[in-house]
Amino acid sequence: MKRKYLAITLLTLMTLIPTVSVFGFEHIDNINNGISVYFLVSLEVDENIVINVTHNGVGNFNLFLYDTRPTESFLNIDNSLNPDIFDVAISYSIEDNPYINYTASEYKIYYIELILIENGPDTFFFYCNNDELTRYYLPIIPGYQIGFLILSLFVISSLIILFKKKIIKKIY
């Protein structure tokens, strides 16, 4: 009987003790100068996202948030930033440990870019309060032009048909 009361007491006490649960996204990576790392996240209206980046070394990291898909990294050949990036980004941080706190104004996919400008290679620690972040890889090779692809298919198939007709005529 005493065991039952002891078990009930312990179970009751366990419900009063808060459990620690951390939700969020963490990413650790080591990158070189001029490298961009991208993430994407879907945010609803009035949803808040907090992004924090720390690093081991003396790397100069910059953090940018876009509401449209970035088509370029906005990084010049000499690893300096193209000034157009500040017009395209909806929020950015160029501090020593970049930090963004943004509340979404509309439901859409947002893109995050982290750039190591100089003093690399360096290891960064990327933290975000949203656990639905996804690492995103911008294709380095530009996409195929549909017109060129259709024209190429047409020319190749025409040549194949012509050569087959010539081969068949030579046989008979």
3-state per-residue secondary structure call for the chain: CHHHHHHHHHHHHHHHCCCCCCCCEEEEEEECCCCEEEEEEEECCCCEEEEEEEECCCCEEEEEEECCCCCCCCECCCCCECCCHHHHCCEEECCCCCEEEEECCCCEEEEEEEEEEECCCEEEEEEECCCCCEEECCCCCCCCCHHHHHHHHHHHHHHHHHHHHHHHHHHC
Sign of the Cα pseudo-torsion (100, 113, 34, 54, in order): positive
β-strand 48-55 against 91-93: which pairing, if any? unpaired
Percentage of the residues of the chain whose pLDDT score is greater than 90: 40
Confidence of residue 141 (pLDDT cuts 50, 70, 90): very low
The predicted model scores a pTM of 0.68
- The mean predicted confidence, pLDDT, of the chain is 84
Side-by-side strand order, sheet with 25-31 = 25-31, 122-128, 48-55, 99-103
pLDDT at position 159: 85
pLDDT tens, position by position, 33-87: 888 899 999 999 999 999 999 998 888 999 999 999 888 878 888 888 999 999 9
pLDDT at position 168: 66
The full set of domains in the chain, from first to last, is 24-167 (2.60.120.380)
